[in-house]
Amino acid sequence: MAASSEEQQGAAPYREITFAGVALGVIVGVVMTVSFTYAGLKLGFTVPASMVSAMLGWGVLRGLLKKGSIVENNINQTVAAAINVSSAGVIFTVPVLYLFQAERARGSATVAQAAQRAGLSIEQYVARHPELQAIDPKFLWAMAGASLAGALLGVLFIIPSRKQMIELERLVFPTGVATATILKASASGARRAKMLGWGILTSVLFATFVGLPGVVQGLPWPAIEEFSISERLHLPAWFAITLAVSGGLTSIGGGYITGRAGLVLMVGAVIGHWIVTPAVITQGWLPDRAWLDVVARAGTNIDAAQSVLTAHGEHCRAANTCAEFVSMGHQLAAGAHGHGASDAANAVLGGWAYRNVTRPLGVGMLLGGSIASVILTAPVLLAAVRSVRRARASQSGASQELDPRLMYVGIGTGFVILVFAAWMGASAVGTGTISVGSILLASAIATAWMWLANIIVSITTGKTDNSPLSGMALITILLILTALGRSEAGVMVAMVMAVAVCVATGQGSDMMQDLKTGHLVGALPRRQQLTQLLVAWIGPLVSLVTLFVLAKKFVFGNDPLTAPQAQAIKAAIELLAPAPDATLAQQALADATRLRYAVGAAVGLTLTLGAGGGLGVVLGLSMYLPMSVTLTYSIGCAITVWTEKKYGRDWVEERGIPLAAGWLVGEGLAQVVLVGVDLARVAAGGRA
Amino acid sequence: METEAKKSTAETLASWVQYLGMTIAMLGGATWPAPRWTVVAGGIGVLGAGIVWARLAAGKRTAAGVNAGGDRAIERVQSALDAAKQRTAAVRASAESAAFEAIANECEGIVRDCVEAVAAQQESLSRTYGFAGYAQVMTPFAAAERWLNRTWSAASDGHRPEVLASLDHAIEHIDEALRECAVLTKSAK
């Protein structure tokens, strides 16, 4: 129990929002935002700051300052997470502008001549000249405005859902539970603290071992992302039975905390990865273009494939069909060119089917399931808003939630900032014009979608700890380009809205994780909401400035900052909104993808309206996620069921959950250390 | 505390029919170059049939009173709320001098035994009184849970005034939940 003397503690008010707690949160949040903007551009993912910050909070607030309380440390982690969470929204979207600019440079005659003079290919020349990807500063201001609007709206839109998701549906929010476990660790008894410590230690060691080869070259062991059971069983590579190794303990820990309820995720994964994807390949539901990918990517070591590609590649791309490629692709997949080529070909086919069929169906299902969830819970959501208003009217100052008047003003302000950001971005394009009416329409669509997307991401985070952020960005782009058309200015406005939606959904789901933590430690929701609102703007700005500085030194899309998520979004823009000069094959693929969204949405809507419980959202998410994540996560859920049956619920709560929370925390800590090592190497002039 | 009973075999089978319908619809949507709409529609039809079957089976289970029907569910909720009220009032009565560790342990016990027992009746209560009926009772009780958690934190931090204030708030909200429970029972009659 508490070390502080009762007389001292009792004389002063209970510490909750304090300068020390907020300042520590800001410092940790800013440092982690800078680190993970870099890491996210390199690896494609970020780590929540909440758990790391909660651990540091104990050291600083109670260890050094000798006066921290549990709820004060909760405010510290709320602040740090609110700042750091925006880095994901920024790095998934903003680099797309740089990628488009670099692509323009590759098509420029001046660059071609300069490359020739330097004796380099155009690709190599652009990769060595970061100034060629530079974008108009007005675009950056537009992005800053979009991310500010997103941060503000993301927090405000999710507040009325707190009662519904945390108090009534009692969603798990595994990261929120893990953070609460840390906050309560010092007073939870020796056994729980010991298990948490073991969890952190084993996870740090494991994640460092797995991640170090990606940072330090020349180590005697390789970097392993995942473990393929399919390969060991000699199954085709498109029949994915894989376990996550990098991030594996996080997935198992998240699954363990979720428990039995998370096992349903496996149903969607089986339908998506073990039925739909194999059916697409074995039944030949593929365009010729997919075979062209197979030959180009899996046949690189085969002379025959290379010669066909060299001789006919451009012709086939233009003609949209090429019997030679289809035939060659079939031969590769069937093993006519050796076992290695067959595996590679099947992996390419599996990847194609997942990206273009299974995943769009899953995204559609997420969308339909969420619309149904909103319909089903609308009465309770409205009652929540009414009860906030009633509480304000009857007992001013004692309400649990933020003042609704502040919410309305904030939402109005966020909308105005969003309109301004879209106008600034569109006007900076220079070519083609977009009317004010179109900008208002796009902003209204994006704001409405942002509200729904916020609910989708919060439900998926609450049920499984996974958030489909990039899927939400894709739907934003699709909605805006459908409304405005694919002009250069239209793409710019779509990007502004995508940034806003990504930042908003990140903020919303983080707010819910923090409110879950707060519920478990008895924090006052209004105080957490206010704190998050006051600091949410810091993260996007820090992340944007970091990105701007990095763009001066590195060309995004090239080693080391490959910006994988931004590349995926750029590819999706090209797929969903083909340019006017796109080939028939590209147009056909875009049409097919839209129809798959529609089919998924119809299924998700029916399932959730009929069966309830957000089932459509969860099954959609499991079709959207890679099999390695879902399978590893489900193993965690299954272990909970097994340990509960064998040792009882008390064992699970006393030992299992603290250990699982430690695994989540340790992985985050290890990533912070690895990024620190990498940044130090870059600063010292080493190759990143 | 007694918790929600398991689903019947018919409900489990109906769930699998729903998954089968979903699979058929998804396969219909996966074809190239366009979805096979008849297959998609057929799949959604099977999915719908599974949903109807599941609802009928659940209704039958409730009507037969085999498992936690509305009346028994509300009785369990009432009993959990009464227990929470008694135990919290007892903690409050001794809180001015009791050891912090004892206060924290008892608060943890109340949350584990009573709050989770009410939350476990979500499905039964929703089926009988609608989700709004469940929310009517759970909303104040969840607020009480948060105040009990705050009591735990304040006790762990050794802050007695906050412990006392939080316990008072918790009792206030449990009383509100009991009143809402009475209203719900009355409305059913």
pLDDT digits (tens, 9 = 90+) for A287-314: 876 776 677 666 554 455 555 555 555 5
pLDDT score for A336: 64
Q: Is the Cβ of A6 closer than 8 Å to some Cβ of chain B?
A: yes
- Within 8 A of A603 by CB-CB distance, chain B residues are 22, 25-26, 29, 43-44, 47
B74 and B43 in a common domain: no
B37 and B83 in a common domain: no
Q: Please report whether residue B14 resides in a domain.
A: yes
Q: Is the Cβ of B139 closer than 8 Å to some Cβ of chain A?
A: yes
B82 and B40 in a common domain: no
Nearest 5°: phi and psi at A68? Answer: -75, 145
pLDDT score for B79: 92
B100 and B143 in a common domain: yes
Instruction: Round to whole Å and give the CA distance between A43 and A60.
Output: 30
Chosen domain end from B64, B85, B109: B64
Q: Please report whether residue B139 resides in a domain.
A: yes
B59 and B147 in a common domain: no
Note whether A619 contacts B159, CB cutoff 8 Å.
Answer: no
pLDDT score for A229: 93
* Nearest CA among A458, A584, A650, A544 for reference residue A135: A544
Q: Return residues 436-465 of A near B (CB < 8 Å).
A: none
Distance from CA of A520 to the nearest CA of B (A): 6
Residue among A379, A599, A611 whose CB faces B35 most closely: A599
Distance from CA of B189 to the nearest CA of A (A): 24
Per DSSP, helices labelled H in chain B are: 9-29, 37-64, 70-94, 100-110, 116-119, 122-156, 160-188
Distance from CA of A265 to the nearest CA of B (A): 12
pLDDT score for B3: 42
B77 and B45 in a common domain: no
B121 and B179 in a common domain: yes
Q: Please report whether residue B3 resides in a domain.
A: no
- Within 8 A of A69 by CB-CB distance, chain B residues are 153-154, 157, 159
pLDDT score for A2: 45
pLDDT digits (tens, 9 = 90+) for B28-65: 999 988 899 999 999 999 999 999 999 888 877 766 65
Note whether B149 contacts A522, CB cutoff 8 Å.
Answer: yes
Distance from CA of A521 to the nearest CA of B (A): 5
Give me the CATH number covering residue B113: 1.20.120.660
Strands (E), A67-203: none
Per-residue confidence band for B86, with pLDDT thresholds at 50, 70 and 90 = very high
Q: Is the Cβ of B16 closer than 8 Å to some Cβ of chain A?
A: no
Instruction: Round to whole Å and give the CA distance between A438 and A187.
Output: 56
pLDDT score for B70: 52
Q: How many CB atoms lie within 10 A of CB A551?
A: 23
Chosen domain end from B43, B64, B85: B64
Tracing tokens 């989770």 back to the chain, one arrives at B116
pLDDT score for B91: 95
* Nearest residue of chain A to residue B42 (CA atoms): A603
pLDDT at B2 over 50: no
- Within 8 A of B35 by CB-CB distance, chain A residues are 595-596, 599
Query: What percentage of residues in chain B have a pLDDT greater than 90?
Result: 59
Q: Is the Cβ of A588 closer than 8 Å to some Cβ of chain B?
A: yes
Note whether B18 contacts A607, CB cutoff 8 Å.
Answer: yes
Q: Please report whether residue B2 resides in a domain.
A: no
Note whether B30 contacts A379, CB cutoff 8 Å.
Answer: no
Q: What is the DSSP string of A465-516?
A: S---HHHHHHHHHHHHHHHH-S-HHHHHHHHHHHHHHHHHHHHHHHHHHHHH
Provide the residue range defining the domain that includes B54: 9-64
Note whether A523 contacts B18, CB cutoff 8 Å.
Answer: no
Instruction: Round to whole Å and give the CA distance between A116 and A93.
Output: 32
For A24-33, give one letter per residue: b (16+ CB within 10 A) or e.
bbbbbbbbbb
Note whether B33 contacts A170, CB cutoff 8 Å.
Answer: no
Please tell me which residue, A49 or B70, carries the higher pLDDT value.
Answer: A49
Q: Return residues 515-534 of A near B (CB < 8 Å).
A: 519-523
Note whether B132 contacts A276, CB cutoff 8 Å.
Answer: no
Note whether A619 contacts B22, CB cutoff 8 Å.
Answer: yes
* Nearest residue of chain B to residue A67 (CA atoms): B157
Q: How distant, in Å, are the alpha carbons of A156, A264, A468, A509, A592 from that of A456? A: 15, 17, 9, 9, 24
Distance from CA of A380 to the nearest CA of B (A): 7
Q: Please report whether residue B131 resides in a domain.
A: yes
- Which pTM does this prediction carry? 0.81
pLDDT score for B1: 39
- Within 8 A of A4 by CB-CB distance, chain B residues are 157-158
B117 and B42 in a common domain: no
Chosen domain end from B19, B38, B64: B64
Q: Is the Cβ of A163 closer than 8 Å to some Cβ of chain B?
A: yes
Phi-psi region of A322 (alpha: psi -120 to 50; beta: other; left: phi over 0): beta
Residue among B134, B138, B149 whose CB faces A519 most closely: B149
Q: Please report whether residue B4 resides in a domain.
A: no
Question: Residue A140 is inside which H or E element, if any?
Answer: helix A137-158
Q: Please report whether residue B173 resides in a domain.
A: yes
**Cα angle at A551 between A549 and A553, to 5 degrees?**
85
Nearest 5°: phi and psi at A12? Answer: -100, 160
Mutate to test the interface with A, among B18, B22, B36 (most CBs of A within 10 A): B22
B174 and B111 in a common domain: yes
Q: How distant, in Å, are the alpha carbons of A273, B128, B140 from that of B187? A: 49, 11, 18
Q: What is the DSSP string of A440-454?
A: HHHHHHHHHHHHHHH
Instruction: Round to whole Å and give the CA distance between B167 and B90.
Output: 10
pLDDT score for A413: 95
**Which parts of chain A sit beneath pLDDT 50?**
1-5, 7-8, 301-302, 319-320, 395-398, 687-688
pLDDT score for A450: 93
Q: Is the Cβ of A642 closer than 8 Å to some Cβ of chain B?
A: no
B169 and B103 in a common domain: yes
pLDDT digits (tens, 9 = 90+) for B95-151: 999 999 999 999 999 998 998 888 888 878 887 888 888 888 998 999 999 999 999
B160 and B119 in a common domain: yes
- Within 8 A of B149 by CB-CB distance, chain A residues are 519-522
Q: Please report whether residue B164 resides in a domain.
A: yes
Distance from CA of A594 to the nearest CA of B (A): 10
The burial class, CB within 10 Å (0-12 / 13-18 / 19+), for A67 is middle
Q: Is the Cβ of B96 closer than 8 Å to some Cβ of chain A?
A: no
Q: How many CB atoms lie within 10 A of CB A110?
A: 9
How many domains is chain B built from? 2
pLDDT digits (tens, 9 = 90+) for B156-189: 999 999 999 999 999 999 999 999 999 888 876 5
pLDDT score for B131: 80
* Nearest CA among B68, B57, B69, B59 for reference residue B188: B69
pLDDT score for A308: 53
B86 and B119 in a common domain: yes
* Nearest CA among B33, B121, B100, B156 for reference residue A591: B33
A636 with A252: CB under 8 angstroms?
A: yes
Note whether B150 contacts A521, CB cutoff 8 Å.
Answer: yes
